[in-house]
Amino acid sequence: MIIAGFDPGSNVFGIGVVEKTGSKLKFIMSEELKFTKMDFNDKMRILIEKLSGIFEDMDIDETAIEDGFLGKNISSMNTLSKVRGVVLATALNNKKDLKFYSPREIKISVTGNGNADKEQVKRGVQMLLGIKNSKIGYDESDALAVALCHSLMKRKDELIK
């Protein structure tokens, strides 16, 4: 099963793809989309094109994204909600369901600590996937953490059945 994880951002958007075979997890790819100063709608057009290409080229089975959390900056929360909506619409348009996980669930799944910082998440992801390259960005590692969280939650659901 190939799982794509997404770390939403309006300036930097993280993409991470892993493969799950039985209980084994394998790193497939990760990327950060860095949007230059441009109109929000132009950013979302680029995001739709990129995600559609990934869905077409990589035979993604399942998708997951980091869900929002209540913050102090309502404007930022509003913008990120729109980004999540674009991802949801693109996934559904490509016949993929999108699962949402809280930042705390994601952090616990890769570090065991719901309050882990970005560096701890990055190290946890690298350890779980055997990634030696330390040049992986935080948004990439966050997206990979989302994919890993989904694979672990799916496994947990399968074991309960």
| Catalytic member of 42, 56, 57, 66 | 66
Question: With contact defined as beta carbons under 8 Å apart, do 67 and 6 qualify?
Answer: no
CA distance 139 to 34: 10
69 contact partners, CB below 8 Å, separation of at least 6 = 102, 103
Tokens of 38: 């441009």
Annotated catalytic, 66?
A: yes
Q: Strand, coil or helix: what is 77?
A: helix
| Catalytic member of 32, 139, 140, 142 | 139
| Catalytic member of 7, 32, 62, 140 | 7
Annotated catalytic, 139?
A: yes
Catalytically active residues are 7, 66, 139
